[in-house]
Amino acid sequence: MSALTEDQKTFFWENGYLMAPGAVTAAELAALRGDFNGWVEESRAKTENYGEIMDGRPRFDLEPGHSAAQPALRRVNSPVEVSETFHDVMAKSRMTDYVADLIGPNVKFHHSKINSKLPGAATKVKWHQDFPFTPHSNDDLVTALLLLDDMTEENGALEVLAGSHRGDLHTLWHDGVFTGSIEDAAADELQRRAAICLGPAGSVCLMHTRLAHGSKPNLSKMPRTLFICVYSAEDAVPLVPNPVPSKLEGLVVRGEHTGHVRSKDFTLKLPQKPAQASFFSQQAATYDG
């Protein structure tokens, strides 16, 4: 039986995104928040990025200005490798069912991360599409952004341009540099027409990989934490190394392994993997504010 209704699926394919409530149980949500809060407490004692993922880059990424008094842990790379709770929600929650309803029956895991905007955090996410970061042989990829906090107008909610997944792929290269962001004039136009994704903790924003999106800084006293999992159809084969590699890449979370590859016609310039902990440093190269 389908976890999403026909109307929800139609909305997703027409608009390129869907806010779906009830993606995890109350117990799962509490456990996820507990683990994340533990990492925030641990970060108070740190003065630079720390931990290590498979390729040697830091797991825990601190925003400039981070301090013991005002921790600004903005990214945890691949939390599914260091928390059973995060692993299980990625692999066997209602969120996983939702994704399978969109790009199943055979679905595999690509990567995961936490993007956090703690109160007062300056981090914004410049407008981009995910596919140019993680091109595959076809674009049946879904980015699932699970809300660990309520997402509100004030705390740096995700903003999207509905229908943009059916449009062009925007380049994330400018003057020979992979900036990880769409150039300013086009981004201003996207922002002007954006829809804001609001919802209570435990909801998920399911986003097509080609959907243009971004988010503003957190101007509130409330945190805004997202657990982000990227999934693909099992027959979508990655064309570049994973920007957040993990031993779980390729794990079939729904259906079965077929070994088939399905391809779609498109052209894009291959991305550069971030040299530092996350794409925030790539985007920061073009920060205008």
Ligand X SMILES: O=C(O)CCC(=O)C(=O)O
Q: Is 147 in the site for ligand X (CB under 6 A)?
A: no
Other Cβ atoms less than 10 A from the Cβ of 50: the count is 15
Comparison of 103 and 125: residue with beta carbon closer to ligand X: 125
Under rule CB under 6 A, residue 228 binds ligand X: yes
Q: How far apart are CB 213 and ligand X at their closest, in Å?
A: 6
* Sequence-distant (≥ 6) Cβ neighbours of residue 146 within 8 angstroms: 23, 24, 32, 89, 95, 202, 203, 204, 226, 227, 228, 229
Handedness of CA 218, 220, 225, 226 (dihedral sign): negative
d(CA 270, CA 287): 22
CB of 207 to ligand X, least distance (A): 8
Instruction: For residue 115, state whether it binds ligand X (rule: CB under 6 A).
Output: yes
Count of positions on this chain that bind ligand X (CB under 6 A): 8
Q: Nearest CA to 288 among 212, 132, 177, 179?
A: 179
**What values do phi and psi take at 256, rounded to 5?**
-140, 165
61 interacts with ligand X by CB under 6 A: no
Of 66 and 128, CB closest to ligand X: 128
125 is a contact residue toward ligand X (CB under 6 A)? yes
> 59 vs 213, which CB is nearer to ligand X?
213
Decide if residue 213 touches ligand X (CB under 6 A): yes
- With respect to ligand X, which residue has the nearer C-beta, 140 or 235? 140
| Residue for token pair 């720390």 | 50
Closer Cβ to ligand X, 15 or 215, answer by number: 215
What is the residue whose two structure tokens read 């825990």? 60
- Give yes or no for residue 283 binding ligand X (CB under 6 A): no
Among the listed residues 197, 226, 236, 244, the single contact to ligand X using CB under 6 A: 226
Q: Measured between alpha carbons, how far is 174 from 234 in angstroms, rounded to an integer? A: 32
Q: Quote the CA–CA distance of 24 and 132 in Å, as a whole number.
A: 29
Output the smallest distance, CB 145 to ligand X, in A: 7
Instruction: Please report how close the Cβ of residue 231 comes to ligand X at its closest, in angstroms.
Output: 14
Q: Which residues have a Cβ under 8 Å from the Cβ of 67 and sit 6 or more positions away?
A: none
What is the bridge-based pairing of β-strands 252-254 and 158-160? unpaired
Nearer to ligand X, 74 or 94 (CB): 74
By C-alpha distance, which of 274, 277, 288 is closest to 114? 277
Which of 24, 102, 103, 158 is close enough to bind ligand X by CB under 6 A? 158
Smallest separation, CB 128 to ligand X (Å): 7
Q: For ligand X, which residue of 215, 225, 232, 242 counts as binding (CB under 6 A)?
A: 215
130 lies in the site for ligand X, by CB under 6 A: yes
Closest approach, Cβ 159 to ligand X, in A, equals 8
Tokens 């993997």 correspond to 273
Distance CA 28, CA 261 (A): 34
Which residues would be at the binding site for ligand X (CB under 6 A)?
115, 125, 130, 158, 213, 215, 226, 228
